[in-house]
Amino acid sequence: MLLQNRVDPFDELLADRSRGLFMGNRGGRIHADGRKLTKRRWASRQWICCVLDFNERHRDVWGRFYTELFFLDEATALAAGHRPCFECRRKEAEAFAERWRQAFKLRARPRAGEMDERLHGERLDGLAKRLHRRGIGELPDGAFVALEDGAHAVRGGSLLRWTPEGYAARKNWPRGITVDVLTPPAILSVRAAGYRPHWHPSADAVTSSPP
């Protein structure tokens, strides 16, 4: 049974057979018996990004306890508003929190709940994905923007078009324009402060699209 469990940068849940690099959840169970989604899209503010395998645990995907979600890569998870998990990705989660501290000039690293509270307000507009207007030249690598032909990731002065299977095309970004940004502002700040997300290998392999 093909589950609706792949997350795209627009925060939509897709049914797709391609396999991503990370999994995660949104604080609990949002599916019903029969492994179908309910109208809910989160159980709590704790939206996390996890490794696929941890301590040889075996999961019954979309079983009794929570709804596993899957991401192409960490850059995609961050665009959807997920942060690194403090249990299975402790090193990355601590690095993320430290960059958060630096970005917002805090005296101590924030707790997970503090970050979750801010992120929850930034990633949602009611039940919909919240978009943020920014000049494209202000965006750090790893930011996702919404263009007419879909979601694109900023990387190395180029835009990479996102698909469930990987990044499909590279193009130069249009200079001097304002765009709709999918990645929450706090995560943009953390990224600008030096946090480096894990990218899908296709981000390095993708070539320029034809003119």
Q: Is the pLDDT of residue 54 over 90?
A: no
pLDDT, tens digit, 9 for 90 and up, residues 129-155: 999 999 999 999 999 999 988 999 999
Residues 17-39 have a mean pLDDT of 89
The 10s digit of each residue's pLDDT in 63-79 is 778 899 999 999 999 99
* For residues 11-25, average pLDDT: 92
Predicted TM-score of the model (pTM): 0.93
- pLDDT at 209 (0 to 100): 59
Over 80: is that where the pLDDT of 59 sits? no
Whether 119 has a pLDDT exceeding 60, the answer reads yes
CB 186 within 8 A of CB 195: no
Q: What percent of the chain has pLDDT over 70?
A: 95
pLDDT recorded at residue 38? 87
Q: Per-residue pLDDT for 202 more than 90?
A: yes
Question: What is residue 58's predicted lDDT score, i.e. its pLDDT?
Answer: 66
Average pLDDT over residues 33-52: 91
- Whether pLDDT at 55 is above 60: yes
- In angstroms, the CA 10 to CA 206 distance is 21
pLDDT at 56 over 80: no
Examine the pLDDT at 191 and tell me if it is beyond 80.
Answer: yes
Answer yes or no: are the C-beta atoms of 91 and 97 closer than 8 Å: no
SS3 (DSSP) at 150: strand
Residue 70 contacts residue 23 (beta carbons within 8 Å): yes
76: tokens are 């995609």
Is residue 157 very low, low, confident or very high in pLDDT (cuts 50, 70, 90)?
Answer: confident
pLDDT of residue 9: 96
Phi, psi of 145 (to 5 degrees): -125, 155
pLDDT over 60 at 211, yes or no: no
